[in-house]
Amino acid sequence: MDMLFDFLSTTAFANMNGGNALMIIVGIVFVSLAIIKHYEPLLLLPIGFGCVLGNIPPIEGMSVGVYDEGSVLSYIYSGVSLGVFPPLIFLGIGAMTDFSTMISNPKLVLLGAAAQCGIFLTLIGAMYLGFSPNEAGAIGIIGGADGPTAIFLSSKLAPELLSSIAIAAYSYMALVPVIQPPVMKLLTSKKERLIRMPAPREVSKRERIIFPVAAFLICSMIVPGSITLIGMLFFGNLLKESGVTERLAETVRNALIDVVTVLLGLTVGASTQAQTFLTLDSMKIFGLGATAFAISTASGVIFAKLMNLFLKEKINPLLGAAGVSAVPDSARVVQHVGQKEDPGNFLLMHAMAPNVAGVIGSAVAAGVLWSALVK
Amino acid sequence: MGYSNIIEGRGVELSFAGLTIVFFALVAVSLFIRLLPVLLAALDKVLPSTPAETGVAQTTGPEDAEVAAIAFAIVEQRKRS
């Protein structure tokens, strides 16, 4: 009988607290949203299940959780904590990205730059709320709307905040269709939303091959801190565009990115243990994350309007919102908002230009912050 | 906490410098893209491009417009029959 009672005291039922129970419910909600509503299922399902997995209280002394040395989850989580998984995801993203629309209209690259304002203004906001410069830098990068970049930078600058930052970044990426449209409508007039963009020029194969090499050299020479992310992004793109490594490109944009996404999502979810996640700092991070997204959207739109003061051929300012690098969701939002005003206005391909430029911009911003803040 | 934390951490300086560098990098990329046709014209003199290299992005299947036209034709055919 003693053995039975001893066993009962080691069960999760005996050791569960309110925080763990709440996080398990949050995890189940994420999984439900993924399956029923199809909200970013490739991310929310692994993260949600990981949330459930990470909040079952283990037996004391047993290495089970992501923070327990020697556990299986900790070995997988090291891909997150050491910043290995995000560059591998960027490799896959590069192999599935088409930079043609950006090459055909280079002035739209500047919208991708403008949308990174959210990162740096949020950094100031985070410092105002009491975070250290390193923590503020890691929180600010949420405004780049790039999950892998957010995880990479927080693993370097503020590993103790990694789980909160990762969950905030991926949650708000899923909420892009909710956050962006009100900001876009507030800052643009109906006349501006009706602007149609001219058809993009054709881009040759040579341009698409030379671009990743040259852009990598430019970005990494200016910001060496971006070598890892930018290098993997453009390497993946070169695998795709060269035409001679289709097998490798196929692998990295399918098998490799899928494997890494599963492992990253599951372990990031499992890292949201109530004891480390349900804190005042996490609430502040979530508040700052929403602000960062809104500021990034606003700054992209406002910059497009500023550019129009000097351009003969006007840009539809909605494209500025696509500078937020949640590819391709923010481009889809631009298409949707534009089509509400004019069903014949097809902005999606034009919006992909600032969208992919935003990916480059957020990776460069991460490199800048890492270089400036690393000890 | 507060403004003193921003001043101590040089937050405004860091943000301004960071944003300037990001803009500078992307402006450089944008300018390079602008110069690309000129560079390619010069490269063509040394290494002439083949017809495949000057072509547009290769699609692996029919264009969207072609698919739409085929679908329309099938629908019209079915209406008549």
pLDDT at residue number B68: 81
Contacts of B32 in chain A (CB under 8 A): 214-215, 218
Contacts of A123 in chain B (CB under 8 A): 11, 14-15, 18
SS (H, E, C) chain B: CCHHHHHHCCHHHHHHHHHHHHHHHHHHHHHHHHHHHHHHHHHHHHCCCCHHHHCCCCCCCCCHHHHHHHHHHHHHHHHHC
Tokens at residue A61, please? Answer: 């002394």
Tell me the average pLDDT across B19-36: 95
Measured CA angle at A262 (ends A256, A267), to 5 deg = 125
Nearest-CA neighbor of A148 among A287, A260, A1, A281? Answer: A260
- Contact between B5 and A128 using a beta-carbon 8 Å cutoff: yes
- Contact between A133 and B2 using a beta-carbon 8 Å cutoff: no
Give phi and psi for A180, each to the nearest 5: -75, -45
Cis peptide before A177 (omega within 30 of 0): no
State the Cα–Cα distance between residues A290 and A310, nearest whole angstrom. 32
pLDDT at residue number B48: 78
Contacts of A114 in chain B (CB under 8 A): 23
Nearest-CA neighbor of A142 among A105, A179, A93, A99? Answer: A179
Yes or no: say if A271 and A77 are a contact pair by the CB < 8 Å rule. Answer: yes
Contacts of B18 in chain A (CB under 8 A): 119-120, 123, 365, 368-369, 372
Tell me the average pLDDT across B2-14: 90
State the Cα–Cα distance between residues A366 and A235, nearest whole angstrom. 18
Which residue did the predictor score with more confidence, B59 or A189? A189
State the Cα–Cα distance between residues A160 and A157, nearest whole angstrom. 9
State the Cα–Cα distance between residues B59 and A171, nearest whole angstrom. 34
Question: What contacts A293, CB < 8 A, 6 or more positions away?
Answer: A118, A142, A143, A145, A172, A175, A176, A179, A180, A324
State the Cα–Cα distance between residues A147 and A172, nearest whole angstrom. 10
- Contact between A128 and B26 using a beta-carbon 8 Å cutoff: no
* Residues of chain B in Cβ contact (below 8 Å) with chain A: 1-3, 5-6, 9-12, 14-19, 21-34, 36-37, 39-40, 43, 49, 52-58
pLDDT at residue number B55: 53
Candidate from A117, A130, A372 with C-beta closest to B1:
A130
A369 vs chain B: nearest CA distance in angstroms? Answer: 7
- Average per-residue pLDDT for chain B: 82
- Contact between B49 and A204 using a beta-carbon 8 Å cutoff: yes
B8 vs chain A: nearest CA distance in angstroms? Answer: 9
Residue A37 DSSP code: S
pLDDT at residue number B52: 57
State the Cα–Cα distance between residues A310 and A314, nearest whole angstrom. 9
Nearest-CA neighbor of A45 among A24, A61, A27, A71? Answer: A27
Contacts of B60 in chain A (CB under 8 A): none
Contacts of A130 in chain B (CB under 8 A): 1-2, 5
* Helix-helix angle A227-241:A348-373, to 10 degrees: 150
DSSP letter string over A150-193? HHHHHHHH-GGGHHHHHHHHHHHHHTHHHHHHHHHHHHS-HHHH
Nearest chain A residue (CA) to B1: A130
* Interface mutation vs chain A, best among B10, B33, B47, most A CBs within 10 Å: B33
**10-residue averages of pLDDT along chain A (375 residues):** 77 83 93 89 92 88 86 94 94 94 94 94 94 94 92 93 91 88 94 91 92 96 95 97 95 96 94 88 92 94 95 93 90 93 91 94 95 85
The dihedral sign for the CA sequence A300, A301, A305, A306: negative
Compute how many other C-beta atoms are within 10 angstroms of the C-beta atom of residue A110.
25
A104 vs chain B: nearest CA distance in angstroms? Answer: 8
Q: Which residue has the tokens 């949308």?
A: A115
Tokens at residue A188, please? Answer: 């643009």
Note the helical H segments in A200-323: 205-222, 227-241, 246-251, 257-270, 274-277, 280-308
Nearest chain A residue (CA) to B34: A106
- Contact between B25 and A369 using a beta-carbon 8 Å cutoff: no
ipTM score of complex: 0.88
- Contact between B19 and A214 using a beta-carbon 8 Å cutoff: no
State the Cα–Cα distance between residues A306 and A303, nearest whole angstrom. 5
Candidate from B14, B19, B33 with C-beta closest to A106:
B33
Q: Residue B65 — very low, low, confident or very high, per pLDDT cuts 50/70/90?
A: confident
